[in-house]
Every structure is written in C-alpha cells, then in structure tokens.
Structure 1
Amino acid sequence: MLDSKQCEAFLAVAEAGSFDAAGEQLYITPSAVSLRVQALEKYLGQILIIRGRPSVLTKAGQTLLQHLRHTRLMEQNLLQGLMGKTSDSEFYKIALASNADSLATWLLPSIQPTLFKEKIVLELKIDDQSHTHTLLETGQVNACISAEEQVMSGCLAQPLGKMRYKMLASADFAAYWFRQGVNRESLRKAPAVIFNHKDLMHSEMLLKCFGLPMQSYPYHFIPSTDAFVKAIQLGLGFGMAPEIQVQSLLSSGAFVEIMPEAQLDIPLYWHHWKRQSKQLDILTETIVQAAKKLLI
C-alpha cells in the first residue's frame, strides 16, 4: 500500500518542479522531501524523479503522477458529495480545461449565474481544443471542453456544437497584400498570424489549398485570443479567427474573409467523469444548454 506522506512529497516535487519548492509547500526541509521520495522509489522498485533543475519525471513517475491526480480529484468529489463542500471553504472548487477561444467568447458569460448561485470557484487550465482531453485523462481537471469525440473509460462526452473559424484580414491588409488576389505567390509574401505552435488550422489550410508549408511564408505567434484578433485588426497579418469573436468586425467591414474555402467548423464536446459532484452536474447542464444556443 502506498504511503500517504511519501506520495504527498512526490506529488509536491512533481507539481512544484523542485525539492526546494516542495519543501516550502509541505513545511519540511528539502532533504526530508528527498528521503520520502527515495523511500517511495525503493518500495516501488522504480526511479520516479530525475534530480535536476527542474526535476524531471521518469515514465514510471508520470504513471504515478496520473494515478495520484486521479485519486485527489476523486477524493475532492467524495468530500463535496458527502459534506457539500470542502471543510475549509464555503465554495466548491472545480478544475476545468477549456480551449482559449471558448473561454474568451461564450463560456464565462454562460456559467456566471451558476457560479454565483452554487458558490463555485474555478481552477481553469487553457490548452488547444485538441489537447484539453489529455488534461482530463491525466487527472488534472474534473471536466474539459475538447474537440476529441472519443470517450475515455469512466467518462461521458456530450456534444456542444461547432465553433466556426474563418480566414480573415483587415480591409487595408487585404487591399495591400492581396491586390492581385489570394494566390500561392501572394500567400508566400504576406505575413500570417497563428495562435501558437499547437494551432494547426492555419498551416493545414494553406498546405491543403495551396501546397504551402509553414517554412514558406512569414508568420507571427500570438498566444492570446484578444491580442490575436487585435494583431489582425492592426494589419500585422491574416489568420483563422472564430466567427463568434469577430462578428461585429466582419459586419462593419473592418475584417474581410479572404479565403471562403478555408472556413472550418470545429466540433466541441464536454467530457466529464460519470461520477461527479452535484455542483459539477449543475455546471455540466448549464454549459451544455448554453452551447446549444450559442454554437453552430
């Protein structure tokens, strides 16, 4: 049976990144943390952490971390189900993962009344819609918005709708860079705006429609939803933006759609554990119903 203090020390190092930080978190010395982790490694017969700055988990360490995070979430759900809340707060804490575009547009306004009424506080983690599923799988969150349709064991997935993306540019940008039309040569010269290295929508669309890999054109990485749209508005480049976020700019003519064939509808799903707290049940219902009204 796993020793709780040893697991607590391992979890602290894994999440804080060092034995010193873990010691501060647990109010013990770094050497005491190290001794507890060593004892756990001896018991399991596996090296869990490669010591360094920062410390790095081995494959066995990653497996244990996933198990302990799952256990922690299950315990939180149990306490909330039996006690109505955790013992040290009148609020219920729920960890969610969302793609940045949902968070920046429809998600928070939709759940605000429920958060107030049910006294819920959120621990939000942000990732690309194709990667949030991993955060649920590794036990870091209770639920997530994901583009992944496949359901994990022990979980449920409910369709939310589709988020539509369009290839957009400011009117001035389009007039300058695409005055001869949007073609292979003009796209090789015009700068693009891409959210981050995980965002493949733009690059895959240019590769599919014009055979252009990312190395063949200039681009900005701007990993902020508001700054991303602002960059397009300022004429720094063209990019794939969610229609729900830029509808007013499209209606006013400030933004123009430069590649209608690049329009892309991304289906989103709400994944959560089958057994969850009453508060997460209520939040789930709120999110599913709101998405049906706001998404395609």
Structure 2
Amino acid sequence: MLNHKQCDAFLAVAEAGSFDLAAESLCITASAVTLRIQSLEKTLGQVLILRERPCRTTQAGQSLLHYLQHSRLLEQNFIQTLTGQTASFHQVNIAANADSLATWLLPLLKPALIEHKITVHFHVDDQSKTHHLLEAGLVNACVTQESQAMKGCIAEYLGSMSYRFVAAPEFAQQWFTKGVSRDALRHAPALIFNEKDQMHTATIQQRFGLNPSQYPHYFIPSSSAFFDAVTMGLGYGWLPDYQAEPYLKEHKLVEVAPELRIELPLFWHHWKQQSEVLEQLSGLLLAEAGLIMNNPLY
C-alpha cells in the first residue's frame, strides 16, 4: 500500500512546485519532505519529481498525481455521503482562461459554490493552454478551446465567446480614420494580454502579415486592467461581448472593424470518473454557460 505521509509530501510538492513551500504547508522540514518523496520513489521504482525550479512531475509522477487528486475528491464525497456532514467545504481545482474567469464563469458558478459548500482553486492560463494543466494533473477540470479530449477524459462544448475589435472613440479617430489596414496597424499601439495571447497575435499575423515585432504593443496580463486600458484609450484590442456590449451602447467604445470579430468556442474537460461535486458543477456549466457567456443580464 502507498504510505499516506509520503503521498501527502509528493502531492504538496507537485501542487506547490517547491520542496520549501511543501514543507511549510505540511509543517515539517524540507529535508523531511525530501526523505518521504525519496522513500516513495524507491517503493515505486520510479522518479516522480524533477528537482527543478519550479519542480515538475515526471510521467510516472503525473499518473500518481492524477490518482491522488481523484482519490481525495472521492474520499471527501464518501465521507459526506456516509456521515451526512455538510459543514466542511469541498475543494476542486479548475483551470480557465482569464477572460472567462473575469466575466461569465464566477457569476454562473456562485450559487452552486455557496449552496454546496465548494471552494475552487482557479489556475489561469491562455485558453489554448489550460488543458495541459489537466493533463499534468494540476487541476480536476478545465475550460479550454481544445475540442479533443485526452485519454480518460470527456470534452463537452460549453458555448462560444464573441470578441470584438474595439477602441475608445478618440483612439479610433486618431489611428483608424481610414479604417484598419496593414499600415495603420504598424503604427497604432496594440493591447495584448501576454506573450501567450495567440488570439491577438495569430489574427494580426494571418489577416495582415504582421508579427508583434512589427507594431507597438503593451502586455497587460490582467483582464480588468486590460479592459481599463482599452476604455481609457491606451490602445486597441479584442474584448469579450460580455465586457464590451454596455460600453458600445453608451458610445464609450467603438467597434472599429466588425469583420474582425472572433468567435472562440470553449469546451469543458473533465475526467470520465468524477466526484459528485464536479458532476454538479459540470451539469450547471453545460446547461447555462452558453446562455450567460454573451449575455451578462441572463
């Protein structure tokens, strides 16, 4: 049988990415964490953790991580069912892109999180990358643009987020008086979420043949700050309808190029066998995500 303390040490390092942080969370020394993981690796005959900064799990470590996280959720569900206890909170780990988290995801989940006493550790990454966090065993489920489910998982369509190419009126008047063209984009400052923002960079590359080195741009890796930067006229960018629609109606933003709208399909990935808690969240997301995504008043 697997040693409980050794597994706890492995799980702490895998989730924190550091022996020191894992030691703090377990209230033991870093050397004790090291000894426990070494003993676990010896028992299993596999290297589980790559001692890097941050630490990474090997393929064998990922398999163990999947097993331990899944077992933890099943144990929580079993105890609640057996004892009828509802005072404690259930924890799940979900990966999502920043725009979903900043707009429709939390309002949709809020009632279920409160009613069923669920806490969520959100992991934020680009929508093209979040499924890698599920594959690495760092989350129990994810929102991603990837439609293909990996082995042992299910991918279900949630809906589509609409993005509009927008700017503040004064910005559009200064930089796009003759419309959006290759020459105009070479001079107008762009707003990009971060270096992983493939939606922006790939669209400009495909439609106008420009890469980020050929036009001025800001990196603003915060959905709220990104929105503020657009509305204050710092640059142009793509905003979700959920954020842009009210400002477009009030003429505080203008849609500079309707032909450059982007429809981003999103999928919910989760393990085929999941806890009752995740089943509840999955059912809610699949039923209502598509409705609320583009309608904040829903």
Q: For residues 118-129 of structure 1, what are the structure 2 equivalents within 5 Å?
A: 118-129=116-127
Matching of residue 232 in structure 1 with residue 230 in structure 2: yes
Tell me the percent identity: 48
1:178 matched residue in structure 2: 176
1:211 maps to: 209
Q: Secondary structure at the match of 1:141?
A: coil
Do the aligned partners of 2:46 and 2:60 also contact (CA within 8 Å) in 1?
Answer: no
Q: Note the C-alpha offset of 1:71.
A: 1.6
> Which residue of structure 2 lines up, in the alignment, with residue 73 of structure 1?
69
Report how far residue 4 of structure 1 moved. Answer: 4.2
2:272 and 2:15 map into 1 onto residues whose CA distance is: 26
Q: 1:49 to 1:294 in 2, by over 3 A?
A: closer
Residues in 1 aligned to 2:51 and 2:151: alpha-carbon distance in whole angstroms: 33
Structure 1 stretches of at least 4 aligned residues deviating more than 4 Å after TM superposition: 1-4, 40-52, 85-89
The separation in 2 between residues aligned to 1:247 and 1:289, in whole angstroms, is 23
Would the aligned equivalents of 2:159 and 2:293 in 1 still touch at CA under 8 Å? yes
Cα distance, 1:46 vs structure 2: 5.7
Alignment of 1:231-250 (within 5 A): 231-250=229-248
C-alpha deviation, 1:177, in angstroms:
1.3
How far, CA to CA, are the matches of 2:165 and 2:6 in structure 1? 52
| Map of 1:35 onto structure 2 | 35
Please show how residues 90-105 of structure 1 align to structure 2 within 5 Å: 90-105=88-103
Cα distance in 2 between the residues matched to 1:44 and 1:152: 25
Letter of the structure 2 residue corresponding to residue 119 of structure 1 = K
CA-CA distance at 1:88 after TM superposition: 10
Task: State the number of aligned residues.
Answer: 292
TM-score w.r.t. length of structure 1? 0.88
Whether contact under 8 Å (2:14, 2:65) holds in the other structure is no
**2:234 aligned counterpart, secondary structure:** coil
Conservation of the 8 A alpha-carbon contact between 2:80 and 2:86: no
223-232 vs 199-208, which moves further: 199-208
CA distance in structure 2 between the aligned counterparts of 1:179 and 1:55, rounded to whole angstroms:
48
SS at match of 2:88: coil
Q: Please, what is the CA RMSD of the aligned residues?
A: 2.5
Deviation at 1:30, TM superposition (A): 2.7
CA-to-aligned-CA distance 1:225-251 (integer Å, 9 cap, x gap) = 111111011111001111121101111
1:55–1:158 CA distance, 2 compared to 1 (3 A):
closer
Q: Is the CA contact (8 Å cut-off) linking 2:50 and 2:58 kept in structure 1?
A: no
Contact 1:11 1:65 in 2 (8 A): no
Deviates more, 1:113-122 or 1:16-25: 16-25
Q: Deviations over 1:172-210 (max 9, x none)?
A: 001011223322222111100001111111111211221
Q: Does structure 1 retain, via aligned residues, the 8 Å contact 2:161–2:240?
A: yes
In 2, are the aligned partners of 1:160 and 1:295 still within 8 Å (CA)? no
Which deviations, in whole Å up to 9, do the C-alpha atoms of 1:128-187 show, x marking residues without a partner?
Answer: 111111122222222111111111222222211110111111110010112233222221
Residue matched to 2:276: 278
Q: For the Cα contact (< 8 Å) 1:14–1:55, is it kept in 2?
A: no
Tell me how far apart the structure 2 counterparts of residues 46 and 277 of structure 1 sit (CA, whole Å).
28
| TM-score of the two chains, using structure 2 as the length reference | 0.88
User: Structure 1, residues 90-140: CA drift from partner, whole Å, max 9, x if none?
Assistant: 222222122111111111112222222222221211111111111222222
Residue in structure 2 matched with residue 8 of structure 1 by the alignment: 8
Tell me: CA distance 1:149–1:34, structure 2 relative to 1, closer, same or farther (3 Å): same
Matched, 1:20 2:16: no
1:189-208 map, 5 Å: 189-208=187-206
Q: Partners of 1:275 and 1:41 in 2: how far apart?
A: 27
Contact 1:167 1:260 in 2 (8 A): yes
Partner amino acid, structure 1, of 2:30:
P
- Check whether the contact 1:158–1:270 (CA below 8 A) recurs between aligned residues: yes
| Cα distance in structure 2, aligned partners of 1:284 and 1:55 | 31
Helix, strand or coil: the match of 1:292?
helix
- For residue 58 of structure 2, give the secondary structure of its aligned residue in structure 1: helix
Alpha-carbon contact 1:49-1:55 (below 8 Å) kept: no
Structure 1 residue ranges without an equivalent (≥5): none
